[in-house]
Amino acid sequence: MNILAIETSCDETATAVVEDGTKIISNVVASSTQMHEKYGGIVPEVAARKQLESIIPVIAEALTPLVKNGLSKQALQGQPLQMALQQSIDAIAVTVGPGLIGSLLVGVETVKTIAFVTGKPIIPVNHVIAHMYANFIKNDKREVISEKKNKIQFPAISLVTSGGHTELYLMTSVKDLQWLGGTLDDAAGECFDKTARILGFGNGGGAAIQEAAKECKMPFGKTQDRQSAKCKIILPRPMIQDEGLNFSFSGLKTAVMREWKKHEFHKATPCGVGFARGGFDKTELTNAFAFEIQEAITDVLVKKTIRAARKYQAKSILLSGGVSSNLRLREKFSILHSPFSIHVPPAQLCTDNAVMIGSCAFFRGKPEDWHSITALPDLSVE
């Protein structure tokens, strides 16, 4: 079954064709991120306008491999992309929420039009839940699910950690989910993004923090060395000891703001404490903060996920969402001596894409007629 999938919940315009929920036929992502740089964040109006312009070209690009692969000579003499859509696509999946209303409407209305003209069924998809299905895509950079050794086994714990969400789910089968907990305030990605701005990385977000953390040459190389370090930046690990499965990251952001101001002040006024005493420059200071922010966020994510896995006697753990492309998070999970098989998609399938939408639609979607489809910006993830 070939599904044409469309994702426009935030600033990306992404399309894909996915076969049987696991095989990528095409994967196209157009982003307006650079345009938002100068405004210091995503401007919904700008994002939606850009998506309106790019939606048809990216759909055309996603359909192109079908023209090359599967069409009859007769079809090729007609309008090949339209014929590919008509002949080779069985259903169209679209993100209906949660997300920005203007952006969602671009995808939803485009898909309704295509469905109206072609008569194809639409499969509405929840963006946050779709993230975890990036783990079911066959890929040589990830465990192939059909291989016994690396198979995802149920029950599984799924951590979706992105710019807007940090959610834990119990998966009892490829389509049956139970929400276990989520963030009470900021998401982990939001915390990366906001603290990156405090450190002066603009919209670079988690990726910028990851790169700066790699450069950290402070007296400590590992979290546990902090006690003996000359310079101590110690940030809280919010709710890490809490037995529940909820998260909270807004306090960490506030702590970073407070500590950053303190150190900047001390640096400007060499009063013999903190960084000024060590004589660290601004780059070293920034790298050290990046290191500790990344440690704090990833410590909490790992601890809570493992707690959930133990509680529900999971066999596998699935990571997904933009933050799961973080190398330190992956490293922490990979060095754990745990009984769980741990799965994470390649980086380009962690951040927003339409492949995950096509896969989710295949495994748990219900086809609907175009009349009943509508954009749902506040769609629940629970």
The footprint of ligand KG4 (CB under 6 A) covers 10, 162-164, 189, 192-193, 205-207, 210, 321-323, 325-326, 351-352
Q: Secondary structure of the chain: what % helix, strand, coil (to 5)?
A: 50, 15, 35
Residue span binding Zn ion (CB under 5 A) among the ranges 70-78, 132-140, 159-167, 213-221: 159-167
Among candidate residues 62, 55, 70, the one with its CA nearest the CA of residue 3? 62
Q: Between helices 80-88 and 44-70, what is the axis angle to 10°?
A: 80
Cα dist from 367 to 91, 124, 292, 353, 361, whole Å: 8, 7, 46, 20, 9
Choice between 295 and 352, CB closer to Zn ion: 352
Q: Is residue 167 a contact point for Zn ion (CB under 5 A)?
A: no
Report, in Å, the least distance between residue 9 CB and Zn ion.
7
Residue span binding Zn ion (CB under 5 A) among the ranges 92-100, 158-166, 281-289, 294-302: 158-166
354 binds, among Zn ion, ligand KG4, none (CB under 5 to 8 A by kind): none
Q: Is residue 162 a contact point for Zn ion (CB under 5 A)?
A: yes
Choice between 164 and 238, CB closer to ligand KG4: 164
Interface with Zn ion (CB under 5 A), residue total: 2
Report, in Å, the least distance between residue 79 CB and ligand KG4.
34
Report, in Å, the least distance between residue 140 CB and ligand KG4.
21
Among 12, 190, 292, 352, interactor with Zn ion by CB under 5 A: 352
- Asked if 138 contacts 43 with a C-beta cutoff of 8 angstroms, the reply is no
Whose tokens are 């037995």? That residue is 243
193 binds, among ligand KG4, Zn ion, none (CB under 5 to 8 A by kind): ligand KG4
Name the closest residue to ligand KG4 (Cβ).
Answer: 206
Where does 183-284 show beta strands of DSSP type E?
none
- Asked if 153 contacts 341 with a C-beta cutoff of 8 angstroms, the reply is yes
Give pairs for 144-147: CB < 8 Å, separation 24+: 145/22
Report, in Å, the least distance between residue 322 CB and ligand KG4.
2
Pairing mode of beta strands 341-343, 177-182? unpaired
Residues in contact with Zn ion by the rule CB under 5 A: 162, 352
